[in-house]
Structure formats: C-alpha cells, structure tokens
Amino acid sequence: MPSGPRILGTMNILSSLQNVDHALFAKITGLTRCTFCVPMARILSKTGDGVLHVLVALVLMMLHPMPERVVLALATTMLLERALYWPLKNTLKRLRPPEKLVDFRSIVTASDRFSFPSGHSSAAFALAILLSLSIGGFMPVLLAWATCVALSRVVLGVHFPGDIIAGALLGATAAFINAAYWGLI
C-alpha cells in the first residue's frame, strides 16, 4: 500500500501538470483575439467530426490497390479508438474548461460533458497515422492536419492541451496496432 509521502508526491506532480496544462490553455486560447484563428479553428474542428473518415474510406475503396485491407484497417482502427476513448472519457470524467475555469466561456458547445481524452484528436491522429502507414508519402501533411484539428479544440475552448495530447497518443496507438495487425507495416 502506498505511503503518505508517496501519495503526496504524486498529488504534487499531478497538481504541477494541471498548472502547466492550464497555463498552456490560457496561451492557446489567447489566439481567439486573432480574427483569422477562430473561423479556421471551427473549420478544422469540423473536419475531425467523423464525416471525413467515411469519405476517406470510400475514396480508398475506389483508388487504392489493396482497398479491402486498408478499409478494414481503417474501420478496425476507428472501432478500437472509440472502444478505448469512450470508457476512458466517462471513467476519468475530467471537466471541460468552461466547467473548470471561473469566468471562462468556450466558443463552441461540446457534445458531451467530459474532456479527457479529446475524441476529435484521437480520431484525427488515428486516421492520419493509419493513412500514412498504409498509403505512404503524405505523413507530414496528414500529421499537420491532425495537429491542427487537435489545436482547434483548445482554441475553441472545449479541451485543455493535456486532453489533446492524450487523444493524439490514443489515436496513434490504435492506428499502429491495426496497421501491424493488417500487415500494413
């Protein structure tokens, strides 16, 4: 059983991480003063809603030389990502910035109450990594897109930076597992 000093040390580390997370959040949400940033964040956030994933699967079925394997890998990646993301989010129950921070209002309203991990970030990174591994050649563009989707969620005020980092790691993990399973790497 953990001793009192060990628990206090862990609590201090978690408190420090939360302080860094909140400070980064304040810096990133400062971008809302940029007239170009908020409309771009809205657009980028929408591309992470899931419709793009279906469109990519349809295009792959028509154009890729191994469409069955890649589409199956994409489908199982998204299933694994959702199967991990949803229980984590609803077990950890980290409140979103508007509920956690005094006098803060987000630019958009989130579809659910909890923020950790970011579902947009995990789905975007799952798609970007899987496509990069299976198609190749587009990794910088796909990773830039996924990063922009993730950052848009902070700019819009519905996630802390730690949420998007956790989401990115979750999505990337799901993609690597499925790419390996389907023999794409």
Kindly report, residue by residue over 71-110, the tens digit of the pLDDT.
888 889 989 999 999 999 999 999 899 888 888 888 888 8
Closest CA to 123 of 89, 164, 69, 62: 164
pLDDT tops 60 at residue 8: no
Query: Whole-prediction pTM value?
Result: 0.86
Both tokens assigned to 5:
């000093």
* Count of C-beta atoms within a 10 Å radius of residue 45: 22
Q: What is the pLDDT of residue 146?
A: 95
pLDDT tops 70 at residue 11: no
pLDDT tops 60 at residue 19: yes
Looking only at Cα atoms, what is the longest distance across the chain? 60
Task: Report the mean per-residue pLDDT for the chain.
Answer: 85
CATH number of residue 52's parent domain: 1.20.144.10
Range of the domain at 111: 4-181
How many structural domains comprise the chain?
1
Q: What is the pLDDT of residue 1?
A: 52
Q: Give the three-class secondary structure for 106.
A: coil
Residues 138-181: tens digit of each pLDDT: 788 889 999 999 999 999 989 999 999 999 999 999 999 999 99
Q: What is the pLDDT of residue 68?
A: 76
Residues 42-77: tens digit of each pLDDT: 999 998 888 887 787 777 777 766 667 888 888 899
